[in-house]
Structure 1
Amino acid sequence: MTTTATRTRMPTHLLPGLALAASAVVVSWFMSRLGVSALLVAIVLGVIVGNAVRLPASLEPGIAFASKRLLRAGIVVLGLQLTLGDIWALGPGMIAVVIAVVTIGILSTLWIGRRLGVSPTQTLLIACGFSICGAAAVAAIDGVIDADDDEVVTAVGLVVAFGTAMIGLVPLLAGLVGLSPAQTGLWAGASIHEVAQVVAVGGSLGAAALSAAVIVKLARVLLLAPVMAVISVRRRRQGSTTGKRPPIIPLFVAGFLAMVILRSVGLVPDVVVGAASTVQTVLLSAAMFALGTGARFAAFRKLGAGPFVLAAISTVIVGAVGLTGTLLVGA
């Protein structure tokens, strides 16, 4: 009887907070039709709401559910956007470039972050967000390390700001260097932070460039799983031998990989893939809003200029590695 009662109460318990998050998703969705990132709109709305009013306690369970469970569900669904065949078709040279971008981007950003005095968690969020797949990577890493909300919001904001700037800079610089549209697409996919930002650049260069850009970008997304596995292993080694230790592969990362495999073997119809893209945006937007409500302006002031300087340097490093690799192997 107690178990049944608990099960019936839980959904009602979560509804107020989830309803607020759903309202933010609707606003974000309409804004995305105007070319603005839905995830950015959602997290900005969360920050505004969280700082403008004192949210009642009745909203907290639903908000917490969105920031954790819906976030992880969104990462799982993201796996349906990837196929191993498309990535393998890039060839060993471009795959090596992708690995170099992610590896050098993360390691160099972590090293520079320590020198700048940026907190380890903030540095890790920026390193992975800028080197792998933007806001989705920031949110996924937060699911493993449990960073402060203001650090997550800062990392997402920096990803959007610097990635958006690259939408104009990459084609401009590509023209100065003499890259072809196809090479520019490869460079965009290897260097720009968000999938949507990569699409914006590739789409302006033609169908071939768009296809190349998106596939290279999704190859970077695929590396989210091994990076998170490495982070989990390090946390296990650094943690206490008593008590609960974090799993080597978090369950939602295993789900992400399972979705990649299902899509790769052709078990997922195209219509489902299209719907999954919408579901992914909805889930991650709700999670971004929930995370935003926990950020406080006072906490941002304490962060200082370090994260912004680190983000700028990380952008340059990732872009430089991507450009070098494209010049060496890109057709």
Structure 2
Amino acid sequence: MNTLVKTTNSYLTQALTILPGLITAFIVAVISKGIAIWLPTLGAATIAILLGIVLGNTCLKHPILDKGTKIAEGKLLEFSVVLLGATVTFQTIAHIGIKGGIFVVLQMGLTILATYILGKKLLFSDNMSLLMAGGNAVCGSSAIASIAPSIHAKEEEKGQIITLVNLLGTILMLLLPLIASILYGTDLLAKSALIGGILQSVGQVVASASMINGEVVEFAMLFKIMRIMLLVVVVYLFGKFKERKAPIATAAETTAVAKKKAGLPWYVVGFVLFCIINSLIQLPAQLSQTAHFFSGWFEITALAAIGLRLDFQKFFKEGKRFLIYGLSVGVIQVLLAIGLIRLFIA
């Protein structure tokens, strides 16, 4: 009986330490959703992390929130990645054609290579360079959440890069419709490729494409889906790359690392399984919509938590270098996309 009471008390104590931060992150997410109604061009995800940063560095800077925001930041993003798989099918990808697929693969590959090299030139760590490369090339926060464990990235590294990727995505989200309209006029596929091939998050793709028309939204999402489908490949390759670079001194350490990296993170596997099931039997629309709904809420709440946990002062200690990195990656992505669209699409 005493053991049961002690166990119950232990769980209650843990819950009480987690709930303040978890509830706070959710409240910030709800507020962000409300603000997004009036500022749809920014989107709830971007607003959530920005609002989280402001509040987390002012009135909500308190240790009592740490455990809950850590749970929200880690676990909710993982569940968001899994549920995202239920909204994607292999059949959908076929609509953009072989040339569209080649464009996506080259755009992603060259973005990763250029971003990593630039990061090293600017003296960023391997982890931060890889997270920046994956976040921009694939699907923003979800990609960073998936890549981070496979390369053993620290929470601070993950938080800083997620912030930078989201800020860059916001700038590009507003600029790309203008660039697409100037360069491609009535070429629907080219405009869609520019937006869907560059922007980091699904929300940013939808918001940016909506500034042109509904058809661009539909086709831009096809390019974006192709990038999301390649997430598992990027996670695997980044993990292998980091493993080869890591010095392993002894046979015992080699065995330990092998055991630790025996497979992909569970949520990446879950994403692929959901995607395969949805492709083979096509899950009911209501189920996919429900998965998308919860995936979106998990991601926004996690982003709010990341913002609440990010120490703004530490971020600004290297602010100039971060700004140069982010803007340079954005320019590289746009120039690469324009060149590749001319070769394969326009």
Taking structure 2 as the reference length, the TM-score comes to: 0.85
Matched, 1:93 2:108: no
Matched, 1:63 2:60: no
Single out whichever of 164-173 and 67-76 deviates more from structure 2. 164-173
Among 289, 301, 308, the alignment partner of 1:274 is: 289
Amino acid at match of 2:315: F
Write out aligned runs for 1:172-211 (5 A): 172-179=178-185, 180-211=187-218
Amino acid at match of 1:22: F
Q: CA deviation at 1:85?
A: 0.5
Write out aligned runs for 1:297-308 (5 A): 297-308=312-323
Aligned residue for 1:220? 227
Amino acid at match of 2:286: V
* Aligned-residue identity in percent: 27
Amino acid at match of 2:344: V
Deviation per residue, 1:254-291 (Å, 9 max, x gap)? 01111111221234211122222221121112212222
Q: Pairwise CA RMSD of aligned residues?
A: 2.5
Count residues with an aligned counterpart.
330
Aligned residue for 2:28? 24
Matched, 1:162 2:182: no
- 1:122–1:307 Cα contact (<8 Å) kept: no
Matched, 1:231 2:238: yes
- 2:232–2:272 Cα contact (<8 Å) kept: yes
Q: CA deviation at 1:189?
A: 0.9
Return closer, same or farther for 1:270/1:309 CA change in 2, 3 Å cut-off.
Answer: same
Matched, 1:288 2:303: yes
- 1:125–1:138 Cα contact (<8 Å) kept: yes
Matches of 1:145 and 1:157, distance apart in 2: 19
Q: Which structure 1 segments of 5+ residues have no match?
A: none
Q: Which structure 2 segments of 5+ residues have no match?
A: none
Q: CA deviation at 1:8?
A: 5.0
Matched, 1:241 2:234: no
Return closer, same or farther for 1:12/1:203 CA change in 2, 3 Å cut-off.
Answer: same
Three-state SS of the structure 2 residue aligned to 1:33 is helix
Amino acid at match of 1:29: K
Taking structure 1 as the reference length, the TM-score comes to: 0.89
Return closer, same or farther for 1:12/1:216 CA change in 2, 3 Å cut-off.
Answer: same
Aligned residue for 1:130? 136
Aligned residue for 1:329? 344
Deviation per residue, 1:164-186 (Å, 9 max, x gap)? 33234333333443441332112
Q: CA deviation at 1:87?
A: 0.8
Return closer, same or farther for 1:95/1:258 CA change in 2, 3 Å cut-off.
Answer: same
Q: CA deviation at 1:296?
A: 1.3
Aligned residue for 2:86? 80
Q: CA deviation at 1:251?
A: 0.9
Amino acid at match of 1:31: I
Q: CA deviation at 1:211?
A: 1.4
Amino acid at match of 2:317: K
Three-state SS of the structure 2 residue aligned to 1:248 is coil
Return closer, same or farther for 1:315/1:209 CA change in 2, 3 Å cut-off.
Answer: same
